[in-house]
Structure 1
Amino acid sequence: MIIAETDRLIIRQFEQRDIPSIFLLNSIPEVLTYIPGEPMTCVEQAEEIFNEVILSSYEEFGYGRWAVEHKLDNKVIGFCGPKYITEYDEVELGYRYLPDYWGLGLGSEAGRSALEQFQRFGIDEVIAIILLGNKGSENLAQKLGMKHRNRDSFMGHKVNIYHKKL
């Protein structure tokens, strides 16, 4: 299901065919610098994330992380979308992109477009949970109109929490 479309991007629900892209996004150490956990080592791990995390979120909440597909090359280049965070009882806007697409404004393009869709899923405010030192993600959160709320701990890591009412 397509969630939104921009000039350069299609934001849509992940599908079974995207499992190799999920693996790629979770196996490149450079992409995971500020993500807790180890890089994936086999595609079966991505299949498990797809089935047990992504599809479960779609079924339980009606939303979840969305695939970001680049129109020019018909390739899933990342994800951007909501995820309910139990520890905070809030919805997070999460995003991650392949390094070849960094610095092109695609993160803010996808983020703006995704945030415009949140209210149709009953989401009227959002947070971003960003590990300390991740200036790229902090800059993107700020570009999307999010304000620093506080510093906290999440999954055993120090994080900055950004917040926005929609």
Structure 2
Amino acid sequence: MFETERCIINTFQKSDYFDTKKLFVNQEVRRFLGGIRQEDSIGVVMEEMLHSSDDSFYWVVREKLSENFIGLVSLDPHHEGVRLEISYQFLPDWWGSGYATEVIQVILDFGLNELKLEKIVAETQTANKSSCRLLERVGMELERTISRFGAEQAIYSIQS
């Protein structure tokens, strides 16, 4: 478990399925993530998160005072298979208030200092300006852009 000023970050559990599913069916959340997921694929993804390998970490983020579900954050292998990637999805009600910045900073610190990762990457569509600004705000730097999933992607990184 991790804590920020306003958030509690716990390892993903089966009891988090219902809340986490809200992310996968929300059009705004999924706008830059390939669209809403189908019911059967949601179950597969959540089972993979629940039974993840040693190099994959999935956390549920809740608001400290209310215990309301905010989102999901992870460190798991990037598509290119070389580094771990930080990924995140937050419900729209929590956007623009600094919650993601708080959470991402804690998870980057964990990856770089506790897991002793030399480098962590993040990938987001260049069209997702808010996500690009968030990654820059937490100290990640744009490495390159590529075309993947039918869109231009920005690859960011941070090193220890």
- 1:64–1:83 contact (8 Å) kept in structure 2: yes
Structure 2 Cα separation of the partners of residues 157 and 68 of structure 1 = 28
**Cα offset, 1:45, TM superposition:** 4.0
Q: Deviations over 1:25-83 (max 9, x none)?
A: 110101111112x31354x543321112x1343x332x323111111221221112311
Note if 1:60 corresponds to 2:57.
Answer: no
8 Å Cα contact 1:22-1:46 kept in structure 2 = no
Mapped to 1, the partners of 2:83 and 2:51 lie a distance apart of 17
Out of 11, 33, 42, the position equivalent to 1:13 is 11
The number of aligned residues is 159
Local SS of the residue matching 1:60: coil
In structure 1, the residue matched to 2:144 is 150
Structure 1: distance between partners of 2:21 and 2:69: 11
Aligned AA (2:147) = S
> Which of 34, 39, 46 is the matching residue for 2:42?
46
Give the aligned CA root-mean-square deviation in angstroms: 1.7
TM-score by length of 2: 0.90
In structure 2, the partner of 1:123 is: 117
Moved beyond 6 Å, runs of 4+: none
| 2:78 pairs with 1:82 | no
Percent pairwise identity: 26
- Report the AA paired with residue 64 of structure 2: K
Question: 1:23, 1:45 within 8 Å by CA — same for their partners in 2?
Answer: no
List runs of 5+ in structure 2 lacking aligned partners: none
Q: Distance in 2 between matches of 1:124 and 1:10?
A: 26
